[in-house]
Amino acid sequence: MGNKKKRNKSKKPPERPGSKSIPMSPELAKVVREQFQRFTEKFGRPPGPDDPLFYDRSADEPRPIIDEVLDQHMLEAMHKARIHPALIYACQKTGRIVIRENRKHLTKAELKEWKDAFGEWHRLHGG
């Protein structure tokens, strides 16, 4: 009998150094599936592990959206959704969208940083 490699039977991909795995909600999973479909339609192949999930739609090859453009789209969407300005401020300051479903996946320091930013907005705006 030859040596057989053990296969990773877990459906979770291996984590990259410095990254953190957080389970997706059904809604987010739907958005990701839709993005995979758009990617496949645009580039004629499914995305690979190094391809950006959200890509520059004007590019002929997969490349990430410029951070400033992505930030602007996010800000516009948050305003359109009528998200409270304190939540937008905390998101912009920390780079995190914190909701009930994902807060359990944050470290105490990450949650404190977000709460501090949220409180800072209220202090700056007298509320």
Residue with tokens 């592990």: 49
C-beta atoms surrounding 53 within 10 Å: 13
pLDDT in tens, 84-109: 999 999 999 999 999 888 888 899 99
In a domain? residue 12: no
Range of the domain at 61: 25-65
For residues 111 and 127, membership in a common domain is answered with yes
pLDDT in tens, 14-67: 556 667 777 778 888 898 999 999 999 999 999 999 999 888 888 999 998 888
- Tell me whether residue 20 is in a domain: no
Measured distance CA(121)–CA(90) in Å, rounded: 8
Are 85 and 127 contained in the same domain? yes
Specify the pLDDT at position 70. Answer: 83
Residues 74 and 90 in one domain: yes
User: Could you say which of 37, 65, 93 is where a domain stops?
Assistant: 65
Bridge partners (DSSP) of residue 64 are: 55
Predicted TM-score (pTM) of the model is 0.58
Instruction: Sort 42 into a burial class: Cβ within 10 Å, 0-12 / 13-18 / 19+.
Output: middle
Whether the CB-CB separation of 62 and 71 falls below 8 Å is answered with: no
CA angle 27, 32, 35 (to 5 degrees): 130
For the chain, how many structural domains are there in total?
2
Instruction: Please determine, for residue 120, whether its predicted confidence score (pLDDT) is greater than 60.
Output: yes
User: 127 and 79, same structural domain?
Assistant: yes
Q: Nearest to residue 88, comparing CAs of 123, 124, 121, 125?
A: 121
